[in-house]
Structure 1
């Protein structure tokens, strides 16, 4: 579906209209008109408007980096693992603070109390993918004997949590300011702290 020109038109139209009018303020008729397609064409690509919103959110994050089906190469050394985590943290951290992505996340937050499934679609389409990809990388490192016998999900939370918190504090909860740069998270310190925890043999509970 990614190369379908009609999908690209619908996605671009939805991006524009949702930012201008909010999710509730955009009808499928208006969306189809903006995209230059019929309502029948729209519904042949997406089951509903919520699916369009999820697709727009997904494509603001580089799916090449967040594809849960991507083949994660097993790191051969701690240096390989550090570099992989640094690349992931840099890419994801930078994309999470995109202005358009943040504005659409605000729409999701606003709509979730009224339409809980909108929040669930977002959770499945973006955060879950990040957890799966991070988990796959950490599992590969664990299987290679580079890190301890850790709880991979807990370690993934340790990795992703600060990136999300940085976005929450510095972007999401701050009034939009056109042109204002957001200081990125210190990726090197973040990754080194995680590695210090998951490669340590001293953090396990005593029997």
Structure 2
């Protein structure tokens, strides 16, 4: 729910973007407990009135920031399951290491306790789950994976490992993670996928 367009002078999209960036940065650092319109205004270099003209509540402000900076996983499709899982893993790696990475990690934990934001995050979460599960289902249909493959366990391991890899890396070393990220994701996917042909295929 974004604020309504105020009468008079048109809104400046540059200011809108600066406020949204300040909001996503503050939430990433402080979480919901430290999130306030006053703090966002100071960080963005604008008055509180400028924010309230755009978004009537701090929930609406955070929701707009999330809409701009924390997106769902794009659907991937390649010639085989290995390439698709590598693409998925790299999307997650870039997601958590991007400018909104801290906010993405926090919202995954705090969203259910923020009225008006929980529903938006649930939609993003569902889109991620569906896109990821489609990868494994296609692989089963193509005969690359056994019918007995646990979709949940495979994806939990891949997605959880990427998130843990980012979180477990000291802040000072995270800048080096993305350049080496593909190598990590490739090794992770190779570890997860079966090394023998699927029986009966």
- Judge same fold: TM > 0.5, yes or no: yes
The TM-score normalised by the length of structure 2 is 0.62
Match of 1:154 in 2: 153
Structure 2 match to 1:95 = 95
Shift of the alpha carbon at 1:127? 5.2
Aligned pair in 2 of structure 1 residues 55, 126: CA closer, same or farther (>3 Å)? farther
Residue of structure 1 equivalent to 2:136:
138
- Structure 1 unaligned residues grouped into runs of 5+: 203-207
Contact 2:41–2:51, Cα closer than 8 Å, also in 1: yes
CA drift at 1:159: 1.9
Cα displacement (A) at 1:14: 0.9
Tell me the residue number matched to 1:205. Answer: none
Distance 1:133 1:107, change over 3 A: closer
Q: TM-score, normalised by structure 1?
A: 0.60
Give how far 1:138 is off: 1.2
Give distance in 2, aligned partners of 1:108 and 1:85. 21
Structure 2 CA distance for aligned equivalents of residues 20 and 159 of structure 1: 26
Aligned pair in 2 of structure 1 residues 118, 201: CA closer, same or farther (>3 Å)? farther
1:97-136 equivalences under 5 Å are 97-98=97-98, 101-102=101-102, 105=105, 112=110, 117-118=113-114, 121=118, 124=122, 128-136=126-134
Number of equivalent positions: 179
TM-aligned CA deviation for residue 178 of structure 1: 7.8
Q: Which residue of 2 aligns with 1:81?
A: 81
CA distance in 1, matches of 2:63, 2:199: 41
Distance 1:179 1:138 in 2: 29
Question: Does the C-alpha gap of structure 1 residues 168 and 42 become closer, same or farther in structure 2, counting only changes over 3 Å?
Answer: same
Query: Aligned ranges for residues 1-207 of structure 1 at < 5 Å?
Result: 5=13, 8-18=17-27, 23-28=32-37, 31=40, 34=44, 37-43=50-56, 48-50=57-59, 52-53=61-62, 56=65, 59-61=68-70, 63=71, 66-67=73-74, 70=75, 73=77, 77=79, 80-98=80-98, 101-102=101-102, 105=105, 112=110, 117-118=113-114, 121=118, 124=122, 128-149=126-147, 150-170=149-169, 174=170, 176-177=171-172, 181-182=176-177, 184=181, 186-196=184-194, 200-201=198-199
**Are 1:134 and 1:156, in contact at CA under 8 Å, matched by a contact in 2?**
yes
In the aligned structure 2, how far is the partner of 1:187 from the partner of 1:21? 29
* Kept in 2: contact 1:148–1:198 (CA 8 A): no
- Cα offset for 1:97? 3.0
In terms of mean alpha carbon deviation, does 87-96 or 18-27 score higher?
18-27
Q: Deviation at 1:163? A: 0.9
Change (3 A) 1:186 1:25: closer
